[in-house]
A and B are shown apart, each in its own frame.
Chain A
Amino acid sequence: MRNAWLLARKDLLRSIRDRSALAVSIVAPLVLAFILSAVLPEEDLGITYGVVDEDRGPVAQAFVSEVIGGFVEEFATVEELDAREDALRRAEDERVAASFVLLAGFSDAVTSGEPAEIEVIADPTSDIGAPIARSIAEGFAAELNAIGLSVATVAANSGSPPDQETLERVRRIAQSMDQSISVADREAGDREFDDKTFFAAGMAVFFLFFTTQFGAQSLLRERGDGTLTRLLAAPMSRESVVVGKALFTYILGVVSLVVLIVASGLLLGAEWGDPLGVTVMVLAAVFAALGIQSLVTTLAKTDEQAGAYGSVIAVTLGLLGGTFFPLSQAPPALATLSFLTPHAWIMRGLGDLSGGAGTVADLAVPVLALVAFGTITGGIALVRARGIVVSP
Chain B
Amino acid sequence: MKAFVIGFTELRRLTRDRTNLFFLFVFPLVLILLLGASFGGSFVPKLGVVQLDDGGLAGELAGALKQDPSVEVGMQDDADAMLSDIERGVLEAGVIIPAGYTSSIEAGEHADASFVAKPGEFSAAIRTAVDSAVGQQSGQVRAALITADESGDDFESTYATASEVADSFPGTDVTFTLAGAEDEFESLGRFDTGASTQLLLFTFVNSLAGSVALVQTRRLGVLRRMLGTPISSTTILLGETLGRFLVAFLQSLFIVFAAALLFGVDWGDPLGAGAVVTLFALVSTGAAMLCGAILKTEQQAGALVPFGLALAALGGSMVPLEVFPDTMRAISRATPHSWANDAFDQLIGHGAGLSEILPQLGALALFAAALLGAGSFFLRRALTT
Contacts and interface: CB of A to CB of B under 8 A. Distances in A.
Interface of A: 18, 20, 23-24, 27-29, 31-32, 35-36, 38-41, 44-45, 47, 71-72, 74-76, 87-89, 91-92, 109-110, 113-125, 127-129, 131-132, 134-146, 148-150, 152-154, 156-158, 166, 170, 173-174, 177-192, 207, 307-309, 311-312, 315-316, 319, 324-331, 334-335, 351-352, 355, 357
Contact of B127 (A47, A174, A183, A357): A183
B110 A178 contact: yes
Contacts of B35: 325
Contact of B129 (A72, A132, A326): A132
Given A24-B303, A121-B177, A188 B128 contact: no
B125 interface: yes
A183 to B, nearest CB: 5
Contacts of B62: none
B323 interface: yes
A115 to B, nearest CB: 5
Given A122-B179, A183-B134, A190-B118, A137 B174 contact: yes
B138 to A, nearest CB: 4
B84 to A, nearest CB: 7
Contacts of A117: 172-175
B326 to A, nearest CB: 10
B266 to A, nearest CB: 18
B34 A141 contact: no
Interface in B83-111: 83-84, 86-90, 94, 96, 105, 108-111
Interface stretch (B222-230, B247-255, B305-313, B374-382): B305-313
Nearest to B17: A308
Interface of B: 17, 19, 22-23, 27, 30-31, 34-35, 37-39, 42-45, 68-71, 83-84, 86-90, 94, 96, 105, 108-119, 121-122, 124-147, 149-151, 153, 158, 161-162, 164-166, 169-180, 182, 185, 299-300, 302-303, 306-307, 309-310, 313-314, 316, 318-319, 323-325, 328, 332
Contacts of A39: 313-314, 316, 318-319, 323-325, 328, 332
Contacts of B165: 149, 152-153, 156
18 contacts: A20-B303, A28-B306, A36-B318, A36-B319, A39-B314, A39-B316, A92-B179, A110-B172, A115-B172, A121-B177, A131-B70, A132-B129, A140-B172, A141-B172, A143-B135, A150-B142, A179-B138, A328-B89
Contact of A31 (B34, B169, B306): B306
A146 B166 CA distance: 9
B313 A181 contact: no
B342 to A, nearest CB: 15
Nearest to B20: A308
Contact of B86 (A40, A110, A134, A188): A188
A334 B90 CA distance: 13
A334 B34 contact: yes
Contacts of A27: 306
A39 B116 CA distance: 31
Interface centre among B35, B143, B164, B172 (most CB of A within 10 A): B172
Contact of B319 (A40, A148, A352): A40
Interface centre among B124, B135, B171, B302 (most CB of A within 10 A): B171
Given A138-B132, A188-B83, A309 B19 contact: yes
Given A113-B171, A132-B129, A188-B86, 12 more contacts: A28-B310, A32-B313, A39-B328, A44-B121, A134-B69, A145-B139, A179-B142, A188-B83, A192-B87, A207-B306, A309-B19, A325-B35
B146 A331 contact: no
Interface centre among A121, A145, A156 (most CB of B within 10 A): A145
B174 A138 contact: yes
Nearest to A120: B176
A23 B153 CA distance: 79
Contact of A134 (B43, B70, B162): B70
Contact of B161 (A24, A31, A156, A309): A156
A154 B89 contact: no
A186 B127 CA distance: 12
B174 A134 contact: yes
Interface centre among A110, A148, A158, A188 (most CB of B within 10 A): A188
Interface centre among B45, B96, B118 (most CB of A within 10 A): B118
A180 B118 contact: no
Nearest to B319: A39
Contacts of B182: 124
Contacts of B314: 35, 39
B151 A157 contact: yes
Nearest to B146: A150
Given A20-B302, A141-B171, A157-B153, A180 B27 contact: no
Given A40-B323, A188-B86, A153 B143 contact: yes
